[in-house]
Chains A and B, each alone.
Chain A
Amino acid sequence: MTKGELLFIRGDTEGAYGAIKFYWPFFYVARLIENSSYEPRTLLTPTATEAIESLAGADAAIIYGHGNAGKVWLKPNRGAALETEDVRALAQLRIERAKPPMDFVHIACCETCKDKEWVEAWLAVAAVVRGYEVDTYDPRDPFTIPDCKTYLRASHHEG
């Protein structure tokens, strides 16, 4: 049986005292082990168009890098972002290509899910959305791990 594709997107990781870059290989390997039933593919600092095109064919996705409410930064130094409108365009593209919902999307970026429209847009793409409503890392309090929220499609029932 063919493995589903798990797309990793590592966006902007500049700044934050280098911690986000240093943590990336540990994050990647841990997620790889957790999701060993998938075939991984990785995109580094893509444009929004490249990200949408790749996400349109993926069965699950993990996004890592800087974020703000309703957007993830893709290019270094907040050069370009994937925003709610882009996610809506992605949902439309997947419908046109008759792709079923992704199994999950995990957005490991600061506070993106504070924006409810962003979460709703992703729920049109994936059965399960995981992400953060707060900062994922605080250099003044580096050992506190914030809650990762899980959002489910209305039609999705786990278990």
Chain B
Amino acid sequence: MTLRFGVVYLDSEDALVQAKSWEGVNGIVAWDREADSIGAPQNVGSLHELLGLEVPIWYGGGLETVHTAELIIGLGCEKVIVDKGFYKTERSPAHFVRRLGEACVPVVSDAESMATIVRAGATYGYCRKGSGAVPATGLNVILEGEDSNSVWGVALLP
């Protein structure tokens, strides 16, 4: 099965307009680019506006702790895309998966990180464009689209 997601950048002034422009998608991936360099979500007001739409929102950006990820899920996001925080310590992957369950979508950047998230028991992985990672059996892999402003392909590979 393939799902289709739209992408919205929360730090854009017209994030809500961008989100409303996606029609017929299964959800929206909402990126907070400002959050990545800071290590915590910053455009939470904009995210809250998007959460008023009747479409699942997957949030990504600056989630370096489980607490912050839980906060964002508590706000109403269906899933959270976790990058650096997931790999911070040896125990981080298992900790994130145990606390967030299927809501946790770790970023896969290479074969090694793919192996890490499979070992941790994650059910989803998010492959960045050009990461070259090979999807592992049993993992739902989300693949970035060719154009970051277009609908993103989401391939669910059993």
Q: Is the CB of B44 within 8 A of A18?
A: no
A21-29, A50-58, A145-153: which one contacts chain B? A21-29
Residue of A nearest to B67 (CB): A26
In this assembly, does B116 line the interface, its C-beta being within 8 Å of a C-beta of chain A? no
A39-47, A118-126, A129-137: which one contacts chain B? A39-47
Contact of A24 among B42, B48, B74 (CB under 8 A): B42
Could you mark each residue 25-65 of chain B with 1 if its beta carbon is under 8 Å from any beta carbon of chain A, else 0? 00000000000001111111110100000000000000000
Q: Is the CB of B39 within 8 A of A40?
A: no
Within 8 A of B (CB), among A4-48: 8, 10, 18, 21-26, 28-29, 32, 40-42, 44
Interface of A is mostly: helix
Chain A proximity of B30: nearest CB distance (Å): 14
Contacts of B72 in A (CB 8 A): 25
Number of interface residues of B (CB under 8 A): 15
- Which of B39, B40, B44 has the most CB atoms of chain A within a 10 A radius of its CB? B44
Distance in angstroms between the alpha carbons of A22 and B41 in the assembled complex: 8
Please judge, given known A-B contacts A26-B71, A29-B71, A29-B75, whether A21 and B44 are in contact too, CB under 8 Å.
no
Please judge, given known A-B contacts A26-B71, A29-B75, whether A42 and B46 are in contact too, CB under 8 Å.
yes
Q: Is the CB of A8 within 8 A of B38?
A: no
Please judge, given known A-B contacts A25-B68, A25-B72, A29-B71, whether A41 and B39 are in contact too, CB under 8 Å.
no
Q: Is the CB of A22 within 8 A of B38?
A: yes
Contacts of B71 in A (CB 8 A): 25-26, 29
Q: Is the CB of B39 within 8 A of A22?
A: yes
- Which of A21, A22, A25 has the most CB atoms of chain B within a 10 A radius of its CB? A25
Interface, chain B (partner A; CB < 8 A): 38-46, 48, 68, 71-72, 74-75
Known contacts A25-B40, A28-B44, A44-B45; 13 further A-B pairs (Cβ under 8 A): A18-B38, A21-B42, A22-B40, A24-B41, A24-B42, A25-B41, A25-B72, A28-B48, A29-B44, A41-B45, A42-B44, A42-B48, A44-B43
Interface, chain A (partner B; CB < 8 A): 8, 10, 18, 21-26, 28-29, 32, 40-42, 44
